[in-house]
Amino acid sequence: IIDRSPLMVAVSSGGTSPVLARLLREKLESLLPLHLGQVAKYAGQLRGRVKQQFATMGERRRFWEKLFV
């Protein structure tokens, strides 16, 4: 499990390829910045305001996608 609390990422091969799962987990660990959890917490704090600002789910999705890119 890659812990960027509150964001968690898990990789499993169901036992079929533990080495592949470990290598993928290590690669993901190196790609995900340590501060990603703080970003997720901040996004959680913004959710209510974003919902008030953007009427449709599509508008909100576009906002979040632009913010996170």
Whether residue 53 sits in one domain with residue 24: no
Domain extent at residue 4: 1-32
Output the pLDDT for position 62. Answer: 98
Same domain, 39 and 26: no
**Model pLDDT, residue 42:** 97
Per-residue pLDDT tens over the stretch 8-46: 999 999 999 999 999 999 999 999 999 999 999 999 999
- Do 27 and 4 belong to one domain? yes
With beta carbons less than 8 A apart as the criterion, state whether 59 and 40 touch. Answer: no
Number of domains observed in the structure of the chain? 2
Check whether residue 39 and residue 69 sit in a common domain. yes
Instruction: Give the pLDDT score at 37.
Output: 97
- pTM, two decimals, is 0.80
> Which pLDDT score is estimated for 53?
98
